[in-house]
Amino acid sequence: MSVKKPLEGIRVIEMSTFIAVPATARFFAEFGAEVIKVEPKSGDNVRFNGVSEGRLGSPYENTTFDLENAHKKGIILNLKAPEGKEVLFKLLETADIFLTNWRPQALEKLGLDYDQLKDRFPKLVYGSLTGYGEVGPDKDLPGYDFTAFWARSGLLGTLYQADSEPNNLIPGIGDHTAGMNLAAGCMVALHKAQATGVGDKVLVNLLHSAIFAQAIAIEAAQYKGLGKQYPISRKVAENPFNNTYKSADGKYIQISMPPFDIFYPKFMPLIGREDLVGNEKYTMASITKNQLHGEFIAILEEAIAKKTAAEWAVLFTGADVPFAVAAVWEEVLEDEQAWAIGAFENVDYPTGKRAMVRQPIELTGSEKRPYGKAPQLGEHTEEVLKSLGYDDATLKTWHEAGIYNVFEDVKSKVGNLDAVAELKELLGK
């Protein structure tokens, strides 16, 4: 007897592209909701971004698209045609949640903004994610995580080494953060809708998500003169025990001991500087008052450079010192702890098994779904249309008129399995 999934019976209609909202919809799909992804014939752009992200460009081995879209049904609708919009409205009649990251002006033009839908679908939870929000002078700007989340919010402009250059960015960090915020908000609104019969609009944007993520530092920045203004150098970090140090084998070790004076008598003997225990010069108050950060950090640098990261790991672990060696992605893929907590699952692909990242939420009373694959573009269109009551004659007429499309219509655009041999050859070089 199969156990009912936590969100079984919930229907989600997703009309979005790229990462953030697809990740939200994947959250619902992961826990059993029926998620129907509505795409135009051109498809979600992430279907075709593989090469630019350092991965394969094949639709049969698209790890990013599967990460964000597994367990969904995929359909192609022409929403500019009245019949296409009719289908979407039929889906919304039976939906609990509608998710989109389309710009508000585009939604309004198509009659798909919340104000035009709420009376027709009063129980509907409407989840909207934008770059900069739906009010204010910059509400219509295009928003991506590199720009709205990282740059505009202060992350990119402050969290790099002074006298250096901004950090290299990777896609998805801001999107996943905002996407989980949207999932949380939609769950609150869904609870309200189920209790009262009245839906709501859930608003999340990348800029606010990033500001919230940095809230401690941004609020502290108001106290000018009391702390260092970022960007700073690790050579003069405010708390030398919240800093990185280079080991003998060139690896950086992040230590994190916010209560400096408490850890001081325990930590200094570990690094061979027991002679400094009890030295009033290096209390946190003295370091701050006399601006001794650079001097004390140099002492730590000299000491930690004498052993390898592995040697320090044994010593610090034994002494219960909070630390971690700064890993690279290839090392994270082999991290025993990451595998133990279920961060990864091996999935079969044409070129072999790939470690796929699971969403970071687990319910102990629910069985985990095996990692799934995302739908091919238009894979479930006719299945969904038939479930709405449309007969074969209507489907034939609509298909010929381009009201909807199926995977076979766009297969030449996305490629086929004949390319697998070429992919294996490429990876073997």
Assigned domain for 404 exists: yes
The Cα–Cα gap between 267 and 187 comes to 45
Model confidence band, residue 429 (pLDDT cutoffs 50, 70, 90): very low
Range scoring the smallest mean pLDDT among 46-55, 324-333, 367-376: 46-55
Q: Scanning the structure block, which residue is given the tokens 């079969």?
A: 348
CATH number for 261: 3.30.1540.10
Does pLDDT of 418 surpass 60? no
The reply to whether 148 and 49 lie within a common domain is yes
The reply to whether 393 and 295 lie within a common domain is no
Assigned domain for 234 exists: no
Tokens of 278: 């009890």
The Cα–Cα gap between 232 and 425 comes to 46
Predicted confidence at residue 51, as pLDDT, reads 79
Is the distance from CB of 40 to CB of 79 less than 8 angstroms? yes
The reply to whether 169 and 269 lie within a common domain is no
The reply to whether 63 and 113 lie within a common domain is yes
Assigned domain for 2 exists: no
Q: Which SS3 state, helix, strand or coil, does residue 74 take?
A: strand
Does pLDDT of 428 surpass 70? no
pTM of the model: 0.94
The Cα–Cα gap between 82 and 88 comes to 10
Question: Which residues touch 390 (CB under 8 Å, ≥6 apart)?
Answer: 87, 398
**Phi and psi torsions of 119, nearest 5°:** -75, -35
Is the distance from CB of 169 to CB of 156 less than 8 angstroms? yes
Q: Scanning the structure block, which residue is given the tokens 């070429």?
A: 422
Range scoring the smallest mean pLDDT among 126-130, 215-219, 410-414: 410-414
Does pLDDT of 415 surpass 60? no
| Each residue's pLDDT tens digit, 147-189 | 999 999 999 999 999 999 999 999 999 999 999 999 999 999 9
The reply to whether 280 and 414 lie within a common domain is no
Q: Identify whether 175 is a catalytic site residue.
A: yes
The reply to whether 323 and 369 lie within a common domain is no
For residues 20-33, one letter each, b for 16 or more C-beta atoms within 10 angstroms of the residue's C-beta and e for the rest, the string is: bbbbbbbbbbbbbb
Model confidence band, residue 414 (pLDDT cutoffs 50, 70, 90): low
**Phi and psi torsions of 126, nearest 5°:** -110, 110
Assigned domain for 151 exists: yes
Does pLDDT of 76 surpass 80? yes
Assigned domain for 188 exists: yes
Provide the residue range defining the domain that includes 28.
11-213+359-428
* CA-based nearest residue to 82, from 398, 364, 325: 398
Which amino acid type is present at position 17? T
| Each residue's pLDDT tens digit, 286-329 | 999 999 999 999 999 999 999 999 999 999 999 999 999 999 99
Q: Scanning the structure block, which residue is given the tokens 């238009």?
A: 378
**Which residue is catalytic, options 175, 275, 391, 409?**
175
Assigned domain for 352 exists: no
Does pLDDT of 253 surpass 90? yes
